[in-house]
Every structure is written in C-alpha cells, then in structure tokens.
Amino acid sequence: MNQLEQLKQYTTIVADTGDFQAMKAFAPRDATTNPSLILKAVQKDEYRPLLEQAVRDHGSKSTGDIIDRLLVAFGREIVKIIPGRVSTETDARLSFDTEGTIAKGRELIRLYEQADVPRERVLIKIASTWEGIRAAEVLEKEGIRCNMTLLFSLPQAIACAEAGAQLISPFVGRIYDWYKKSTGEEYTGENDPGVQSVKRIYNYYRKFGYKTEVMGASFRNTSQLTELAGCDLLTISPELLQKLAETDAPVTRKLSSESAQASDLEKLSLDEKTFRLMVNDDAMATEKLAEGIRLFCADAIKLEKMVDALR
C-alpha cells in the first residue's frame, strides 16, 4: 500500500480544496473549504461558471448574499462527490461578533437545506475566538454542527470542546511556520511544534473524555501527516495527497486513546478571563490567529470585488 492508503487505515482523510477533480482522484470522506480556496477555485475556467451563475441568479441581492449562495453552490457540488461532510466557512469579519456568526451559520444551513443538502452533511467553519466559540455553542444546540478553525493552542481547543463543538481544525503548518521563522530552525518528525500541538490536544481530549473530533489542518510536508497517523481526521491539500500516493514508505499509528491515557496532562478550568490570558500569553497563537483572520478577511474582500465586477 502507498502512504495514503496506509494513513486511511488509522485516520479519516479529508480533502482541503475547492477542486472537484482532486476529490474524485483521491476519494476523501469529507472536504473542507475556506475563503482562500474558493477564491482560488473561481479564478479557474472550470469553476468560474459557478460564480457567474450565482451572480446571474441572485444579482438583485446584496454582495454578501450572493457569496453565501456561491459557497453553498460549491458545497452542493462537493457533496455529490464525497460520502461525508463539507465544511463551509463564515465570513472572517464576524470573528469577534457572536450574534453575527450565529446568524450567518443559520443562514448557510437554511440555504443548504433549500438546496436539498441536509444539515448533517455540513460543518459551519468558525474562527476559534472566544466570540466564535460562544456562537458555536448556540449553533450546536440547534443541531448545526461546527468546525472550529484558526486554532493554534490548547486553551482554544479546550474551550471548543467544552462548548460542544463537533470538530476542531488545529493548524499544524502555520504553527511550524511561526517557530521556523522565530528560531531559524528546521523541524522534522516528532520534533515539529505543529505536530506536538495536535498530539497534545488529541491526548487531552481522549484523556478527559471529550467527544469533539480533532482534524489536523494546514500541512507543509508529508512527515507532519504521518506523525499524526491515528488523529481523528486530517485535511490535506491535493499536492500532499499526491505525494502520499506516490510513496510506499511505512506508516505506523502514532496517536491512540490508549497512549492518551498515559499522558501527564492535567485538566484545566477555563472561563473567559482565563482563556483570553492564556491565549495572550502564547505569542505564536496570538499572532497566527490575528494573521489568519486578516488573511481570510482580505480574500473575502477580493471575492466580493469579483462578484461586483460581474453585476
């Protein structure tokens, strides 16, 4: 078996792309999208018709409404290809707006159900700010499942699990990027700080009985992926899926509920003040969260300009 086939023995594989052809080629169970991936996709000839149709069919609506429909149009096509769930992201400009995020999550689910896609096949992606986590808590109680993104630290992960979030997406590669830039060192294998962060979160969840799924995200190389064999899910770009499929080096399970019980992690109690202080004390988490929100906001604005240019 190649590495991708081996990895599928231990972990659910998710495609981190808006490219339908890549999903067909690598047969993931789930798929994730974000503003950057959708922006990239609609600039390709094969996906531009989805953008044009959204504008044509809903031109009288606001730019934001048209983009919501574009996101759902992508999601509807994706669930025709995969057997599982598609993740659709809320506007990053709502990252500090609990009520706005709740409203956006409800609207996206309404549009999906209107398009005959049941809510069970959709995850609403929300930034793992305190405000975003509170929004997820409300949405989950309404049966709207959430994927907590832009997650870089254990306090964020704990708060998400205590809010009952369905799934979290800790960003392995962006953590790696920060430490590499900060220290000038290369990190490989189990020494990779991004890998270590996800292992710590996974072990914490399993040791203390949280049901929230852990989906490693934002990878830079296949070593990061194989070091997390056994994680609940891994969302992987088409480029890295291809690399995994091209090698047959052995992959062994690295994460399990059994090993998590042996970890020396202690249970933390988090209220809002403690959460904010702990995240603030982590320079990497603070900087990468802020940067991630800025980048997603910038790409959302670019997408809006593309919509407006077609109206």
Rounded distance between C-alpha atoms, residue 263 and residue 199, angstroms: 10
Q: What is the percent of the chain with per-residue pLDDT over 70, rounded to a whole number? A: 100
Task: Find the mean pLDDT for residues 78-91.
Answer: 97
Report the greatest alpha carbon distance in the chain. Answer: 59
In this predicted structure, the answer to whether residue 238 has a pLDDT above a threshold of 90 is yes
Q: What is the percent of the chain with per-residue pLDDT over 90, rounded to a whole number? A: 98
**What is the pLDDT, as a whole number, of residue 195?**
98
Query: Domains in the chain, start-ordered, CATH in brackets?
Result: 3-309 (3.20.20.70)
Cβ(228)–Cβ(3) below 8 Å: no
User: What mean pLDDT is reported for the chain?
Assistant: 97
pLDDT band at 305 (very low <50, low <70, confident <90, very high): very high
Task: Find the mean pLDDT for residues 19-32.
Answer: 95
In this predicted structure, the answer to whether residue 35 has a pLDDT above a threshold of 90 is no
Which strand (E) or helix (H) includes residue 64?
A: helix 63-79
Strand ranges inside the chain, DSSP E: 12-16, 30-32, 86-89, 122-127, 146-151, 167-170, 213-216, 233-236
The CA-atom distances, in angstroms, between 308 and each of 60, 90, 254, 301 are 11, 19, 48, 10
Strand, coil or helix: 257: helix
Digit-coded pLDDT (tens) for 174-209: 999 999 999 999 999 999 999 999 999 999 999 999
The gap between the terminal CA atoms of the chain, to the nearest Å, is: 50
Strand, coil or helix: 237: coil
What is the dihedral sign for C-alpha 89, 90, 95, 101? negative
Cβ(30)–Cβ(37) below 8 Å: no
Length of the chain: 311
- Please name the residue ranges forming H helices in 1-62: 3-10, 20-26, 35-42, 48-58
pLDDT band at 27 (very low <50, low <70, confident <90, very high): very high
Cβ(211)–Cβ(166) below 8 Å: no
**What is the pLDDT, as a whole number, of residue 204?**
98
**What is the pLDDT, as a whole number, of residue 67?**
96
Cβ(157)–Cβ(205) below 8 Å: yes
Catalogue the long-range contacts made by 53-60 (C-beta closer than 8 Å, 24 or more residues apart): 54/307, 55/307, 55/310, 55/311, 59/311
Please report, for the chain, how many H helices and E strands are present, in that order.
Answer: 15, 8
Beta-ladder partners of 170: 151
Cβ(120)–Cβ(140) below 8 Å: no
The residues carrying an active-site annotation are 125
Task: Find the mean pLDDT for residues 244-253.
Answer: 97
Digit-coded pLDDT (tens) for 90-133: 999 999 999 999 999 999 999 999 999 999 999 999 999 999 99
Digit-coded pLDDT (tens) for 211-230: 999 999 999 999 999 999 99
Rounded distance between C-alpha atoms, residue 18 and residue 31, angstroms: 8
